[in-house]
């Protein structure tokens, strides 16, 4: 897909290369003040003015701290839920309360607060609960707590039901004003808001010294949008995360091989978060909570090593299930792959099927669901969908066949009776076929900006860094380059691909992870990629992480309704545009100036738009 035609000239005052100014313009930062706000986030409004129940929740927790009250922090077994739990435990304890963790087991209890947990906590003398990363839809449990006269403060970012159950207070981003910077907070962000409010009310801000560190870990791990408050706190927190007072985070950093330099969102996402998430998938989440609240170095390191062990088990298990799933796809559909991949094996592990579903989605460029056996003749599924495919809507149209389902556009899950699996698959395939047709069996990418391979250097890398951190809502830049020769190809173990690309006198190494070996690699191609740093044996070098490639051409066809226009390059910075009647326009594209064409037709804005799009497609615009 072509990137949008933009005018980056309003951003000329920024000390950024032209391709990065074009990138910012395409992402909606068209005014200098908008771009400056991204590069230098400003202070946030008072959260009390944005969360209607925050004052009420703060007053209840302040009372609990002053009275030394026991409080249950009811979390979830993913990284967001575990870091949220640890954050509140670390914050409330020095403020005078006696918080305890209460996290359900993935295998035994399922997701979120449940009545049996509420009754058990009540029998142990608990009279107040704080949920983190769950609770808003736990209607039965909340009614049970109300019947037992327990005060429940719910902090959650999942969908609020049409008829909410009774609760003392609800801290939820959907209850903030429409354009609030707090709208994108994950569970750990909401826990951070509450902890800051209580610490400030008690005039003990030092009590939450490490809270922002845990916020950074949970926010990146949960793939929360890195905009608004998330971006502000993350930019601030990453500067000192490598010197965290949390002994558990220190131990994880050492085991991950991360040095003394400030960490990046990528360090969290690829090194620290998997070690935390693996425990929730394969073990008991209390291990992570114990790690993140440890107050002895030896204990923290021992717990971190156990997390590391779980992560190795997780990798091995994922690789084994992926190999089995790929074999099933290739064996069952030798001629025509279904639009929606659905694979079921009773022995697969619930905790990792979501990871493997995501890998299949990436490999085969279509939605994928993996099902594992559950009790009572049921199968439990994890679903992942490519950009543009709404998983939650697709599952909603299968509601009559499912026992339970939920999710969002990119991912979801459901529980189904084994005898209904085939019917569910048929319906999901029919729902997906139109989407697949629109995608033309490909994987459309819309790059942010064009680069010449010679422009990829450490100066460019340094210029990209002020745009970080990158994640959901603010992805790492996706660049593209035209006319690259493939001078070397190597197939790597694990289904990966390594290429040596050449453009003019410049050579660059490129790697494609989980590359479909049946996809041809043309000798002369256009490539879409992200720029990454490859660290090997103490050395660092820039590398291209390939996302797509196609055969190169110096001619393109532009469609306008039923009319076709052909364009081709005529020189280093010129092109020729022709219509079906054979009429032709020649234009020149100076790199940072308006296009040049003497034909009076260029006074027509439609013609100018055609020329600009042709210039983009042929690499004459960044």
**pLDDT tens readout for residues 14-28:** 989 999 999 999 999
Of the ranges 139-153, 164-178, 362-376, 566-580, which one carries the lowest mean pLDDT score?
Answer: 566-580
Provide CB contacts within 8 A for 357, sequence distance 6+: 368, 369, 370, 382, 383, 384
In the CATH scheme, what is the code of domain 446-551?
2.40.50.460
Q: What is the mean pLDDT of residues 606-615?
A: 81
Q: From start to end of 232-373, where are the E strands?
A: 341-345, 368-373
Categorize the per-residue pLDDT at 601 as very low, low, confident or very high, splitting at 50, 70 and 90.
low
How many CA atoms, within 13 angstroms, populate the side-chain half-sphere of residue 333?
A: 13
Report domain 333-439's class. alpha beta
Rounded Cα–Cα distance for residues 423 and 21 (Å): 50
Q: What is the predicted pLDDT for the residue at 158?
A: 86
Q: What is the predicted pLDDT for the residue at 71?
A: 97
Indicate the angle between helix axes 273-282 and 247-255, nearest 10 degrees: 100
Q: What is the predicted pLDDT for the residue at 355?
A: 94
Q: Over 585-608, what HEC string results?
A: EEEECCCCCCCECCCHHHHCHHHH
Of the ranges 18-22, 44-48, 368-372, 488-492, which one carries the lowest mean pLDDT score?
Answer: 488-492
The long-range contacts involving 573-581, CB below 8 angstroms and separated by at least 24 positions, are 573/620, 574/620, 575/611, 575/614, 575/615, 575/618, 575/620, 577/610, 577/611, 577/614
Categorize the per-residue pLDDT at 371 as very low, low, confident or very high, splitting at 50, 70 and 90.
very high
Place of tokens 């559950």: 374
Other beta carbons within 10 Å of 560: 12
Q: Are 62 and 198 in contact (CB under 8 A)?
A: yes
Rounded Cα–Cα distance for residues 534 and 466 (Å): 20
Q: What is the predicted pLDDT for the residue at 107?
A: 58
Domain ranges of the chain: 47-236, 333-439, 446-551, 555-617
Q: Are 357 and 321 in contact (CB under 8 A)?
A: no
Enclosing H/E stretch for 381: strand 378-384
Measured on CA atoms in the order 240, 242, 243, 244, is the torsion positive or negative? positive
Closest listed residue to residue 113, CA positions, set 87, 90, 85: 85
**pLDDT tens readout for residues 105-131:** 665 656 678 999 999 999 999 999 999
Categorize the per-residue pLDDT at 103 as very low, low, confident or very high, splitting at 50, 70 and 90.
confident
Q: What is the predicted pLDDT for the residue at 132?
A: 95
pTM metric for this prediction: 0.84
pLDDT of 61 higher than 90:
yes
Of the ranges 31-35, 279-283, 439-443, 525-529, which one carries the lowest mean pLDDT score?
Answer: 439-443
Categorize the per-residue pLDDT at 590 as very low, low, confident or very high, splitting at 50, 70 and 90.
confident
pLDDT of 104 higher than 80:
no
Cis peptide before 348 (omega within 30 of 0): no
Please give the span between the terminal C-alpha atoms of the chain, in angstroms, as a whole number.
15
Answer with the residue of higher pLDDT: 434 or 511.
511
**pLDDT tens readout for residues 197-208:** 999 999 999 999
Q: What is the predicted pLDDT for the residue at 105?
A: 67
- Highest-pLDDT range among 149-158, 383-392, 580-589: 149-158
pLDDT of 291 higher than 80:
yes
Q: Maximum distance among all alpha carbons in the chain?
A: 86
Domain 47-236 annotated CATH 3.90.1070.10:
no
| % residues pLDDT > 90 (the chain) | 65
Q: What is the mean pLDDT of residues 269-297?
A: 92
Strand 506-512, strand 555-560: pairing: unpaired
Rounded Cα–Cα distance for residues 325 and 327 (Å): 5
Q: What is the mean pLDDT of residues 2-12?
A: 85
Q: What is the predicted pLDDT for the residue at 442?
A: 52
User: Which CA distances in Å does 89 have to 17, 191, 245, 287?
Assistant: 45, 10, 15, 14
């Amino acid at each position: 897909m072509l990137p949008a035609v933009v005018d980056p000239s309003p951003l000329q005052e920024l000390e950024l290369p032209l391709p990065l100014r074009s990138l910012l313009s395409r992402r909606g930062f068209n005014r200098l003040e908008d771009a400056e706000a991204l590069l230098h986030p400003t202070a946030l409004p008072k959260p009390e003015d944005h969360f209607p129940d925050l004052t009420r929740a703060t007053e209840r927790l302040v009372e609990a701290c002053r009275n030394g009250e026991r409080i249950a922090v009811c979390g979830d077994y993913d990284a967001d839920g575990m870091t949220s739990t640890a954050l509140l435990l670390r914050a409330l304890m020095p403020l005078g309360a006696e918080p305890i963790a209460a996290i359900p087991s993935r295998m035994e209890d399922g997701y979120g607060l449940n009545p049996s947990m509420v009754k058990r906590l009540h029998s142990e003398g608990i009279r107040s609960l704080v949920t983190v990363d769950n609770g808003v839809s736990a209607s039965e449990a909340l009614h049970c707590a109300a019947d037992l006269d327990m005060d429940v403060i719910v902090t959650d970012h999942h969908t609020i039901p049409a008829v909410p159950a009774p609760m003392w207070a609800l801290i939820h981003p959907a209850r903030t004003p429409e354009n609030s910077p707090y709208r994108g907070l994950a569970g750990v962000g909401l826990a951070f808001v509450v902890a800051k409010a209580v610490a400030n009310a008690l005039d003990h801000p030092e009590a939450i010294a490490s809270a922002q560190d845990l916020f950074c870990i949970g926010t990146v791990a949960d793939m929360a949008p890195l905009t608004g408050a998330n971006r502000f706190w993350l930019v601030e927190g990453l500067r000192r995360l490598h010197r965290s007072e949390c002994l558990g985070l220190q131990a994880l950093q050492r085991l991950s091989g991360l040095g003394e330099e400030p960490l990046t969102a990528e360090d969290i996402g690829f090194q620290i978060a998997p070690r935390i998430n693996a425990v929730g998938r394969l073990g008991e989440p209390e291990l992570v909570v114990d790690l993140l609240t440890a107050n002895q170095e030896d204990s923290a390191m021992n717990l971190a090593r156990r997390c590391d062990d779980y992560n190795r088990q997780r990798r091995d298990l994922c690789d084994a299930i992926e190999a089995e799933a790929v074999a099933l796809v290739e064996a069952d559909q030798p001629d025509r792959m279904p639009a929606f991949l659905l694979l079921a094996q009773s022995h697969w592990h619930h905790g990792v099927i979501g990871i493997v579903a995501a890998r299949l989605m990436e490999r085969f460029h279509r939605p994928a669901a993996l099902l594992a056996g559950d009790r009572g003749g049921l199968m439990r599924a994890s679903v992942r969908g490519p950009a543009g495919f709404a998983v939650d809507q697709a599952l909603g149209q299968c509601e009559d066949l499912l026992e339970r389902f939920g999710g969002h556009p990119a991912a979801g899950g459901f529980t189904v009776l084994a005898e209904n699996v085939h019917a569910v698959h048929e319906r999901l395939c029919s729902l997906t076929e139109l989407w697949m047709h629109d995608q033309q069996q490909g994987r459309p990418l819309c790059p942010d900006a064009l680069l010449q391979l010679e422009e990829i250097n450490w100066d460019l890398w340094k210029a990209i860094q002020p745009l970080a951190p990158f994640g959901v809502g603010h992805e790492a830049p996706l660049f593209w380059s035209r006319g690259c020769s493939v001078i070397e190809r190597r197939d790597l173990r694990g289904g990966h691909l390594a290429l040596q690309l050449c453009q003019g006198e410049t050579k660059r190494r490129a790697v494609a992870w989980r590359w479909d070996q049946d996809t041809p690699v043309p000798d002369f191609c256009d490539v879409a990629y992200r720029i990454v740093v490859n660290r090997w044996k103490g050395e660092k070098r820039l590398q291209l992480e390939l996302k797509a490639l196609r055969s190169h051409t110096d001619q393109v066809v532009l469609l306008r309704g039923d009319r076709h226009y052909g364009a081709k390059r005529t020189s280093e910075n010129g092109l020729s545009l022709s219509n079906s009647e054979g009429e032709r326009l020649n234009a020149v594209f100076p790199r940072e100036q308006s296009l040049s064409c003497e034909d009076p037709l260029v006074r027509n804005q439609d013609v100018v738009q055609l020329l600009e799009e042709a210039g983009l497609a042929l690499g004459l615009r960044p």
